[in-house]
Amino acid sequence: MENYSFNKYYRVYKNGTAVTERPKNDFKVQQVRPGLAPALVLSLPSDDLMFYEYNDKIKAMEKAKSGALAYINTLINDALQAIGKLKKYRDEHYEDLNTNLVDSNIRRLERELGVK
């Protein structure tokens, strides 16, 4: 069978940059034992395994690029927020970290209490 473009689609995983070609007519036989059908539970894949499918490779490549750039921006924003939290924590606990909890003060208290 010839490989026509209408026999395939292109898959892009969320936050991924790889574009994988998949055949549309790749059917897999599902073996379900009698009596188990009511117990089947359907669910979406986890967030890191989520993917999108496109009929056009160019469209898939464009979406992979835009998705990756959006994810990079999300990571940058998360980092900026984390830096802000670190600065706030340092400011709030400056005196403890630089005066009260200095190693020399801890060792002095250890000598005073006779603990070792």
- Where do the structural domains in the chain lie, given as residue ranges? 5-113
The pTM of the full predicted model, rounded to 2 decimals, is 0.64
Instruction: Provide the pLDDT for residue 47.
Output: 83
Mean pLDDT across the chain: 85
Name which of 13, 19, 8, 16 is nearest 61 in CA terms.
19
Which run of H or of E encompasses 104? helix 103-113
Report residues of the chain scoring pLDDT below 70.
1-6, 26-40, 116
Instruction: Provide the pLDDT for residue 25.
Output: 73
Instruction: Provide the pLDDT for residue 84.
Output: 96
DSSP 73: H
Instruction: Provide the pLDDT for residue 1.
Output: 45
